[in-house]
Amino acid sequence: MKRAVAFLLAGALLIVGSSAFAQTQPAQPAQSAQPTQPPSAQQGYAKDAYVKNIPCFKILVYRLGYEVLYFKGDMSIGRIYVPLTWFNGGAKAVAYITYGNGPQLPYVSIAWVDGKFDHVTINALEDMQGPTWGQIDPSVDLTSQFNIQEPPREF
């Protein structure tokens, strides 16, 4: 009996206590008769953004950048070349790399905004000695593959 009373008191305390932390809605301004733009357009956000996440199985380091290997839809091997110059733009960089641990890694995210290439992010495993990392022989000339303006759109 004591246990039931204690359980009821704890439940009541939880209900009363949760209302103390509830957030209130701010007053909404009166709606005008004229149509307004959506909040994204008012704040200058892009009208159309698309991100493609591509699981990959190998990230190869080369003197001009990274070559990312992935399986295409037909199970052939696809390649994405990410030049080092894309990382060097400061606030205007179009390439980023993040490191972490987890079963979802590695993968590449490519973003297009309003139909134009915006940026690419390589999401890689921290352990660069692991099986997902590798190096390309420096004597191989891949200059033309890294001389690109944007990654491919077919996957």
**C-alpha–C-alpha distance, residues 81 and 146, integer Å:** 6
Q: Find the angle CA(70)-CA(67)-CA(77) to the nearest 5 degrees.
A: 30
**Residue pLDDT, tens place only, 15-48:** 545 444 455 555 555 544 444 444 444 566 657 9
Average pLDDT, the chain: 81
Assess if residue 94 is contained within a domain: yes
Assess if residue 150 is contained within a domain: no
Assess if residue 76 is contained within a domain: yes
Assess if residue 51 is contained within a domain: yes
Assess if residue 60 is contained within a domain: yes
Q: Which domain holds residue 100?
A: 45-137
Total domains present in the chain:
1
pLDDT, position 40: 47
**Residue pLDDT, tens place only, 74-114:** 999 999 999 999 999 888 899 999 999 999 999 999 999 99
Assess if residue 152 is contained within a domain: no
